[in-house]
Structure 1
Amino acid sequence: MKKSKSIVAIIIIVAIIAALGYYAFGVLSATKDKEDAGIKLGLDLAGGVSITYEAVDGAPSSEDMADTIYKLQRRAESYSTEASVYQQGDDRITIEIPGVSDANEVLEELGTPGSLEFQTPDGEAFLDGDDIADAQAASTGSDVNDSGYVVELTLTDEAAETFAEITGEYVGQQLPIVYDGETISSPTVQSQITGGTAQITGMDSYEEAEELASMIRIGSLSVELEEVQSEVVSAQLGSDAISTSLKAAAIGLAIVMILLIIFYAVPGVVAAIALALYTALVVSVINVFDVTLTLPGIAGIILSIGMAVDANVIIFARIREELAADHSVLVSIKSGFKKGLSAIVDGNITTLIAAAVLGARGSGSVRGFAATLAIGIVLSMFTALVISRILMLSFYGLGVKNERAYRKAKARKTINFIGKRRIYFLVSIVIIVIGFGYMGYQSNQGNGALNYSLEFVGGTSTTVEMDKDYTVEELESEVVPVVSEVTNDSAIQTQNVSDSNAIVIKTRTLDLEEREELSTALQENFGVAEEDIQYTNISSTISSEMRSDALWAVIIAAILMLIYIWFRFKDIRYASSAVLALVHDILIVLTCYALTRISVGSTFIACMLTLIGYSINDTIVIFDRFRENLTNAREKKDADAVMEIGNKSITQTITRSIMTSLTTFVMVFVLYLLGVATIKDFALPLIVGIISGTYSSIAIASGLWFSFKLHIGKEKLVRIPKAVKQPKEEQKTEKEETEPKKELVSQKRKKKKRR
């Protein structure tokens, strides 16, 4: 790149960073102050609307309530992916929607979830809401000005036959759709409808079609509900949580940039600039696309920052190796980006697969995590492969051509990692067995295998009318210690209700004696009246269906990653090793939760999901080097030769593994040091996961890969015997025979020099 073009390129990139940085700073400032221009925050960070419904016809069955909660969860997620729905008592359901502050507006748009019926002209119902699998608004026609708007219905298999029979009988007549006794649509049957799908046409706008589709979807509930209460609730985590998280992110980024510059010199400066652009882009995109940010979402951003650094580190490591091979600086730069491409693409695509599946199958905080992770991955690839390349060539064009500025790689002695695989396997098994043993012990003691939080097991909700309006920080410092002393448990959530002095305290399930003790403590410490304290048992916000969705999402993601790695590496042994190493990391972090008794809630799911993306990416980078070095090797079936190649590959990539882990560790560790209690409980297992992910990629995945190649598959490795060493007597005789020959050759050379 010419000098003039280099200057222009750098000026443009710096200008873009300045503009995006200015915008991102404004967004973060608005977020910190909870202004409208900031990022939409979840209920745990910013509060939102809480709406309570009650069953109309007495106490419904537990199955009907569970079904209704699950369907309401899906409906509420149209307002925010972080919405939560849980049961209160026997016949009430509460919906909490973050990021909104007008309960009346939400109620008006949400409507009262009631009964839905498809009726004949005679008023006889032939289908109800349970028979509708899905209802979506859509537009028809290729021209926007000539579009028609429809509602596309998908019926259950059982309802399809009934619908075909009725529509065949009533061709040319109207079949009213009745919601809570009111006709909301009267479509005319044009012809018999078979196949289980149908369209309601004649909508004047997309909004009208969406409104009808929403009412049909929400009508498919097993329980008829009516609103009994709506209120605006404050955040579960105070403004301190937001400000400390922002401060931790800023400090962590600064440390990471300094480390990159110290270790990589000019490439480190490039990485720091690209990282600054990446950070500004992530903040801007999250704000523009109105993504709701919660604590699990922060996990996705942290992971994507680590991967953004990793992509640069992979390239820089390649550049240093090319310089060590005596290539010119320019050739090394171009070759570094070319050779690093496959590892970056494979690592990021496998993580994108996980994010896509989690977004499609997950719900609540899982979908929020998937959204932020996907955004981060795409942007990290762009900044590493495009921006970093332009900057590197621009610096070279400006005259930075001395190879010292790019830190040529030094030769390293190959470390025998694979040879010690049995030791690594044993250590990991012992740690995991200790974890499961401790879980069994705690379970036998009646404490539960893990310390499940309210989100998983439910508990008791205590509403108290206080003497003043408490801030979230005051609740944390004054009220929580009093409650914790009674419950002997730190897993306590507090919220205050806007425009009132009422607060909501959520704890584990309290028995009668504990409720009376808590009531006394609240009266003595805060002067509240006994009649101002109300107790309600609540269900888990993470329902069995949501847990099932999350579990299936992880399983499907693992299978798809297995298939992708198998396809890319043309060997199932690579894929199975990577997935088993992933399972290893999950079990190690589970052991951490068991031994420390950290509360297992929504952040537990986020932590595990973060680990999946991080660990699989690290493993693929090492496997990519295995593949490259084996392709160039001659002896591909010699076990000893392949082990040497594997150890060489790990040694070549170990600097990159340590550097990536270090930068990600710094981000999380600073968050742990500065964060509030809830964030600490999230950051500590994540730190363990980062360490475990690095260890498993180097020691476990590599060892499994070699063991599989040794014992499984058509092209199994074999032990090729080496040349047999001669006895010392024979070696001595051979030496004596060759020494006179060497002396004769030496004399001849001396004679030639004299001539």
Structure 2
Amino acid sequence: MNKKSNAVLRLIGILLLTIAFCVLGYLNAKNIKLGLDLNGGVSITYQTVEENPTAEQMSDTVYKLQMKAQSYSTEAQVYQEGKNRINIDIPGATDANEILAELGEPGTLQFADEDGNVLLTGDDVKTATAGMTNQNNNREYVIELHFTEAGATKFAEATKNNVGKRIFIIYNNEVISSPNVKEAITGGQASISPIESYEQAQKIASTIRIGALPVSLTELRSNVIGATLGAEAISTSLQAAAIGIALVMLFMLCVYRIPGLAASLALFMYVGLEMVLMQAFEVTLTLPGIAGIILSIGMAVDANVIIFTRIKEEIGAGNSVEKAIKSGFEKALSAILDGNITTLIAAAVLYIRGSGTVKGFATTLAIGIIISLITALFVTRGLLTAFFALGATNPKLYGIKKETKVINFIGFRRIAYSISSLVIIVGFIFLAMNKKNTGDIFNYDLDFKGGSSTTITFDKDLSMMEIDSEVIPLFTAATGGNASTQAAKVAGTNEVIIKTRTMTTEERTKLYDSLQEKFSISEDKIVTENISGAVSTEMKKDAVWALLIAIFCMLIYIWIRFTDIKFASASVMALSHDVLITVTFYAVLRWAVGSNFIACILTIVGYSINATIVIFDRIRENLHNGSKKKGLEYVVNEAISSTVTRSINTSLTTFISVFVLYIFGVSSIRDFTLPLMVGIVAGAWSSVCIAGPLWFDFVILSKRKKEQLSKK
């Protein structure tokens, strides 16, 4: 079989696979789990048995219920309502009774020996998670237990005294597990194995977590609530996605020609695979999740741009198209792998250490990274070689990169440092001013600060469109126009729940009067309660620690791969720069800081590291190909100059996707995409003007220190 026949078969095979994935993803799109904002879910309110629980008890209970609720959905929200109530919103669920049966009433958890003596209680357990191990090539499901400091001491004593016996884990007087003690266990960690299935391990682990509650709860009410945003949000987001993809494809075709066509076809497969894997991994999709997917579509072309730039360079150096394609993929491989593996490490850490929005974000990020690697390294390459074999041999069809004009970025670095420093300093000034004027450094949204939840029983069933146009404006007027709102309908009733910032007595009176006047409803059909933030203090700590550990792991990986800690240090400083620039805009423009803020910052970190690594990869290459003889300054300037087009093009395609989403998206999507656009610009600036020059300065500083030491 000749090359043309092979090329035709390869092309047909890739196209059929692309069509299959897209069709499969589309037909089963209804199986994708949707969050509360898109599809509604179950809302359950618990009340404490004790009349006056302490604030610490309520805070601990909210956090542990959040851990339990996440076994149903990573996007579940738990928040305090009033002084002794806790509300749990679980997206995608439709049967409140089923959820209540599975969730159960939180009760007592005890660890007891065979004689019934209580050895530990739920208070001694820090957390419990389901896991999987391989023992002698056999898969085993386990439960990993982590105890508090006091619990670790008790557990060590309990296992020491019960070697060869069973310890019974009892929840509400029912034995949920009875593992055999093989040896004394110290260190505050233990595992229970084997468990029949992963689902069983998850169920037991979540029961142990919820059993450690500091207060007892009883069910007060449960409702099935409708989507908080309605069908319009989904349709506009999908419309934005279609336009964004079309614009990115058009850009790729115009700039990269035949390679751009290959990338566009690969992008279709990317979308299809994304939908299929989201179904397979049961990812709960929220509106920010849609934004994240559209953003990842813009980022998916990054690897292709790196490859195509290399191909252009090879053709410009006089190589044949066939050799240029092969060499382009080979030379781009290290930068692509390093950039994606670094971000994948961050995603893994965020998934393990994070909770709620962070965990959901990490899942979507990891899926996007893996798919982009597959489509760039295999699909795009297969398409390019097929096109070449079918007659696309003219170098003009691939583009020819002219000799790089070396720009003196090192000479510009002090100006770049000054500009960035000035912006960041302004940010800190505004943070201090905000703290002084409002008591908070940021304009915290409901998710962080809590507010008021108002339940209104109307005389008729209002649509989300009617709520947005007729009800929400009354809340806006009552709060002076400076409060964000979240609205949801209670299925099967005429009740509407609207959350806003904490309202004063005067604002409530004004709101009640306007509701009664416009809808002729009595005051007894309007109930307002204060609620806590859905993002608890513990969740914030989890997110911060997850981010810090992720950055640390990225630093270690870059250090190992580039065999120089100066590369890693410059990378982390560039990432910190991008985050601080974004924070500055949040502070100066008073953008609302909610749960999406965490996902936004994580997206910026994951995005900007790729561009920095591409430049560092070129610096590493220049250090080994003889360019070092021209001086270190030339090495850095040439590396940045040769990749600056790639940095601009990648940032532009990503910016296009996000900008289209901003134009067509609903208000909550705009709140998410606006900071992302700032982060994209900041990431492009830091990669080109900050990261490389920082590495240069670190090297010079290191040399000076060595010289000073040698003189001594």
> Quick check: TM above 0.5?
yes
**Identical aligned pairs, as a percentage?**
51
Task: Report the counterpart of residue 391 of structure 2 in structure 1.
Answer: 399
Deviation, structure 1 residue 440: 2.4
For the residue of structure 2 that corresponds to 1:505, the secondary structure is strand
Instruction: Find out whether 1:386 has 2:382 as its counterpart.
Output: no
Task: Report the counterpart of residue 464 of structure 1 in structure 2.
Answer: 456
Task: From the CA coordinates, give the structure whose radius of gyration is larger.
Answer: 1
- The CA distance in 2 between the partners of 1:229 and 1:283, in whole Å, is 36
Deviation, structure 1 residue 691: 0.9
Task: Report the counterpart of residue 527 of structure 1 in structure 2.
Answer: 520
Task: Report the counterpart of residue 58 of structure 2 in structure 1.
Answer: 65
Any residues of structure 2 matched to 1:14-413 within 5 Å, and which? 14-28=15-29, 37-119=30-112, 124-135=117-128, 155-163=147-155, 165=157, 177-180=169-172, 182-184=173-175, 187=178, 193-195=184-186, 211-413=203-405
For the residue of structure 2 that corresponds to 1:86, the secondary structure is strand
For the residue of structure 2 that corresponds to 1:445, the secondary structure is helix
For the residue of structure 2 that corresponds to 1:359, the secondary structure is helix
> 1:668–1:683: 8 Å Cα contact kept in structure 2?
yes
> 2:68–2:207: 8 Å Cα contact kept in structure 1?
no
> 2:141–2:193: 8 Å Cα contact kept in structure 1?
yes
Deviation, structure 1 residue 512: 1.6
Bigger shift: residues 134-143 or 555-564:
134-143
Change (3 A) 1:573 1:522: same
- The CA distance in 2 between the partners of 1:437 and 1:339, in whole Å, is 45
Task: Report the counterpart of residue 659 of structure 1 in structure 2.
Answer: 649
- The CA distance in 2 between the partners of 1:690 and 1:668, in whole Å, is 10
Bigger shift: residues 480-489 or 184-193:
184-193
Bigger shift: residues 587-596 or 548-557:
587-596
Which residue among 625, 630, 642 is the counterpart of 2:623? 630
Bigger shift: residues 185-194 or 480-489:
185-194
> What do the CA deviations read for 1:181-212 (whole angstroms, capped 9, x no partner)?
x3335849777754366777898877666544
Deviation, structure 1 residue 345: 0.5
Which residue among 545, 555, 558 is the counterpart of 1:562? 555
Deviation, structure 1 residue 712: 2.5
> 1:50–1:97: 8 Å Cα contact kept in structure 2?
yes
Task: Report the counterpart of residue 7 of structure 1 in structure 2.
Answer: 8
Instruction: Find out whether 1:685 has 2:678 as its counterpart.
Output: no
Change (3 A) 1:313 1:700: same
Which residue among 477, 485, 493 is the counterpart of 1:492? 485
Deviation, structure 1 residue 224: 1.2
Deviation, structure 1 residue 216: 2.7
Letter in 2 for 1:183: E
> 2:167–2:181: 8 Å Cα contact kept in structure 1?
no
Any residues of structure 2 matched to 1:605-620 within 5 Å, and which? 605-620=598-613
Letter in 1 for 2:695: W
Task: Report the counterpart of residue 645 of structure 1 in structure 2.
Answer: 635
For the residue of structure 2 that corresponds to 1:461, the secondary structure is strand
Deviation, structure 1 residue 300: 3.3
- The CA distance in 2 between the partners of 1:581 and 1:209, in whole Å, is 41
Change (3 A) 1:432 1:17: same
Letter in 1 for 2:102: E
Task: Report the counterpart of residue 693 of structure 2 in structure 1.
Answer: 703
Task: Report the counterpart of residue 601 of structure 1 in structure 2.
Answer: 594
> What do the CA deviations read for 1:547-571 (whole angstroms, capped 9, x no partner)?
1111111111111111111111122
> 1:711–1:717: 8 Å Cα contact kept in structure 2?
no
Unaligned ranges ≥5, structure 1: 29-36, 719-755
Change (3 A) 1:459 1:717: farther
Deviation, structure 1 residue 81: 0.6
Change (3 A) 1:409 1:76: same
Deviation, structure 1 residue 491: 1.0
Deviation, structure 1 residue 436: 2.3
> What do the CA deviations read for 1:533-588 (whole angstroms, capped 9, x no partner)?
11111111111111111111111111111111111112222111111111111111
> What do the CA deviations read for 1:651-707 (whole angstroms, capped 9, x no partner)?
211111111111101100000000011111111111111111101100111221222
> What do the CA deviations read for 1:213-258 (whole angstroms, capped 9, x no partner)?
4433321111111111111112222211111111101110011111
Bigger shift: residues 226-235 or 466-475:
466-475
Deviation, structure 1 residue 598: 1.7
Letter in 2 for 1:2: K
- The CA distance in 1 between the partners of 2:134 and 2:688, in whole Å, is 55
Change (3 A) 1:265 1:104: same
- The CA distance in 2 between the partners of 1:546 and 1:630, in whole Å, is 44
TM-score relative to the length of structure 1: 0.88
Change (3 A) 1:229 1:659: same
- The CA distance in 2 between the partners of 1:139 and 1:81, in whole Å, is 19
Task: Report the counterpart of residue 410 of structure 2 in structure 1.
Answer: 418
Unaligned ranges ≥5, structure 2: none
> What do the CA deviations read for 1:21-51 (whole angstroms, capped 9, x no partner)?
22223345xxxxxxxx342111122211111
Deviation, structure 1 residue 301: 2.0
Change (3 A) 1:148 1:362: closer
Deviation, structure 1 residue 626: 1.2
> 2:125–2:209: 8 Å Cα contact kept in structure 1?
yes
- The CA distance in 2 between the partners of 1:627 and 1:715, in whole Å, is 22
Letter in 1 for 2:376: A
Bigger shift: residues 82-91 or 374-383:
82-91
> 1:294–1:368: 8 Å Cα contact kept in structure 2?
no
Change (3 A) 1:200 1:556: closer
Letter in 2 for 1:114: G
- The CA distance in 1 between the partners of 2:563 and 2:135, in whole Å, is 43
For the residue of structure 1 that corresponds to 2:174, the secondary structure is strand
Change (3 A) 1:652 1:135: closer
TM-score relative to the length of structure 2: 0.93
> 2:48–2:215: 8 Å Cα contact kept in structure 1?
yes
> 2:622–2:628: 8 Å Cα contact kept in structure 1?
no
For the residue of structure 2 that corresponds to 1:712, the secondary structure is helix
> What do the CA deviations read for 1:439-460 (whole angstroms, capped 9, x no partner)?
3223322263321100111111
Change (3 A) 1:666 1:696: same
Deviation, structure 1 residue 519: 1.3
Letter in 1 for 2:508: R
Letter in 1 for 2:56: E
Deviation, structure 1 residue 306: 2.8
Deviation, structure 1 residue 7: 0.2
Letter in 1 for 2:274: V
Deviation, structure 1 residue 471: 2.1
- The CA distance in 1 between the partners of 2:638 and 2:488, in whole Å, is 56
Letter in 2 for 1:621: V
> What do the CA deviations read for 1:250-302 (whole angstroms, capped 9, x no partner)?
11001111111111111111111111111111111112221111233234323
Instruction: Find out whether 1:435 has 2:436 as its counterpart.
Output: no
Change (3 A) 1:192 1:685: closer
> 1:141–1:148: 8 Å Cα contact kept in structure 2?
yes
Instruction: Find out whether 1:549 has 2:542 as its counterpart.
Output: yes
> 1:133–1:155: 8 Å Cα contact kept in structure 2?
yes
- The CA distance in 2 between the partners of 1:264 and 1:285, in whole Å, is 29
For the residue of structure 2 that corresponds to 1:414, the secondary structure is coil
Bigger shift: residues 322-331 or 132-141:
132-141
> 2:444–2:593: 8 Å Cα contact kept in structure 1?
yes
